[in-house]
Structure 1
């Protein structure tokens, strides 16, 4: 009887003599999931910890290969273990030594898309007249790349540095956005955050400040008007040269045309005074001479 009690006592010591871990929780930032826990008190220094996960509507706990021998203070990356962002999961942790083990401590239900926190994007700003051009970039993490299809809108908080006047804009999500109708030559500071279709958790970026483009000075306007006037004058001058050149070319051709007309008239008179019987062909030739002479006269 004593031997049986001794064996039972030793079995209980080996199985459940270690204190169970506490504060088991899963946090998520930009779809990177991390499990954290605290060792129970008192826990020996040589204690190790193992992590398992359970998917909703499944009855089998699966060990996380990279988190089977954690030490106190270490965390467990669950990003690969929780692959489906639309599913729901639990995680659990227990302590063990070569001769002892603890009970499991289970986390609360974790939903990747709902519980993740969207971190601040990288933002750059530049002036574009009376507007600001914003370039928005997100960290190229594995989880976040799959999450981009759920981005919905960007929230822009704009503050004018000169007097502190501010306003907010909510725009459809784009990697390039323009804030219009601002004062030219004035500095504005912008903070950006992104809203998701499912996650209400977000963090705004650090303020990014830039000047809108300064307005054109009067001297620049006068310079533009002067250049425009010079181009117009040059256009009129070129048009005049083209017209004058055309008239001069016609004058140069006038003398050869007059000589040609005189030759045609002489030929026609010669044929008209010849003592021969006028045939049909000659009559048609004379008519042709008269038509050619008339056409040349009109040109002159």
Structure 2
């Protein structure tokens, strides 16, 4: 028995050594092409999907080599299929919109970099399910102001969903894609108050009426679209508008009301200003003020007070004034002398 064991051991060792040698040779043959190849595989593969437009991008570490890219894809983990437009390209980008036509399928792409003599190891991208992974938005939003408030019209986002049967892009709001879209409307009133409204729409054009009884308010509106199968949404840019005052038509009546009001204010101001000047004696004076120099002549003061209107200037010679002074002196001395002086203008003094 011991001799038999001794005879079997060399055979077993030789058999085990042969197996190890074969494995080493096979491993060398498998690793040799990878070591010998100088073409590096692509990296950082990712999908960018918006409104069913699927773009695959990657990074190429072979900066100094003239390389080409070959893209193939697999649906539901089946065999690889060549793409339409990315079989032999030179840019690290591939549009797979017309390849991923089944919105409920699971797609994955394989990229391989090659030169005229060598090729890299093929690399797979992450999987993509169009119906749930694509980003929806932004919706098309129009805002109009009327006498009742604000009218917001919403249409679905621009769709890039390709139809092989119709050979064109079809809308995403349909029974075959999304029967309903959930619109989330965000309202910002006068940069302070914020409201959020959610509504489902199954028509191409949906209209939301926002009542505003006060008017003259600044509204800013933003909308995003989503579905129960897809919650990835992109908001539309803010659109701002000033609502009209209630029951006021912008046809020029307000302009004329403002003009009439301004004219009335100017007229009233002129009347008040004229009255003030009249009270101050600046215009329409009824009485003539006697200068202080003439207050010593009683007959001049009496003459001016008896006339309500301006009298023409009277020339009185200096001799007359001296005679009047002399008469006043004689009167004070008790001399009863009557002096009658006739001026050149026929006035008897």
Question: What range describes the TM-score normalised by the shorter chain of this pair?
Answer: 0.5 to 0.7
- Select 1:31's aligned residue among 52, 72, 92: 52
1:68 corresponding residue in structure 2 = 87
Going from structure 1 to structure 2, the CA distance change for 1:104 and 1:46 (only over 3 Å counts) comes to same
Cα separation, 1, equivalents of 2:157 and 2:119: 40
Gaps of 5+ in 1: 1-7, 221-300
2:33 corresponding residue in structure 1 = 12
* Aligned positions of 1:188-203 closer than 5 A: 188-203=219-234
1:49 corresponding residue in structure 2 = 69
- Select 2:112's aligned residue among 91, 94, 100: 94
Whether the 8 Å CA contact 1:15–1:102 is kept in 2: the answer is no
- Structure with higher Rg: it is 2
How much has 1:69 moved relative to structure 2?
1.6
Going from structure 1 to structure 2, the CA distance change for 1:14 and 1:61 (only over 3 Å counts) comes to farther
Query: Are positions 1:177 and 2:198 aligned together?
Result: no
Cα separation, 2, equivalents of 1:110 and 1:205: 25
Cα separation, 2, equivalents of 1:15 and 1:135: 62
Going from structure 1 to structure 2, the CA distance change for 1:15 and 1:128 (only over 3 Å counts) comes to farther
Whether the 8 Å CA contact 1:67–1:76 is kept in 2: the answer is yes
Cα separation, 2, equivalents of 1:171 and 1:139: 16
Q: Which has the higher helix share?
A: 1
Going from structure 1 to structure 2, the CA distance change for 1:15 and 1:91 (only over 3 Å counts) comes to farther
TM-score of the superposed pair, with normalisation by structure 1: 0.63
TM-score of the superposed pair, with normalisation by structure 2: 0.54
RMSD between aligned residues = 2.8
Greater length-normalized contact order (CA 8 Å, ≥ 6 residues apart)? 1
Cα separation, 1, equivalents of 2:36 and 2:228: 46
Cα separation, 2, equivalents of 1:139 and 1:204: 10
Whether the 8 Å CA contact 1:24–1:92 is kept in 2: the answer is no
Cα separation, 1, equivalents of 2:210 and 2:158: 29
How much has 1:75 moved relative to structure 2?
1.0
1:128-172 Cα offsets, whole Å, 9 max, x none, are: 3333111223454431734222142111000112x5111100012
Gaps of 5+ in 2: 1-28, 162-168, 252-349
Query: Are positions 1:147 and 2:172 aligned together?
Result: yes
Query: Are positions 1:214 and 2:283 aligned together?
Result: no
Cα separation, 2, equivalents of 1:13 and 1:115: 35
1:167 corresponding residue in structure 2 = 195
Going from structure 1 to structure 2, the CA distance change for 1:61 and 1:38 (only over 3 Å counts) comes to same
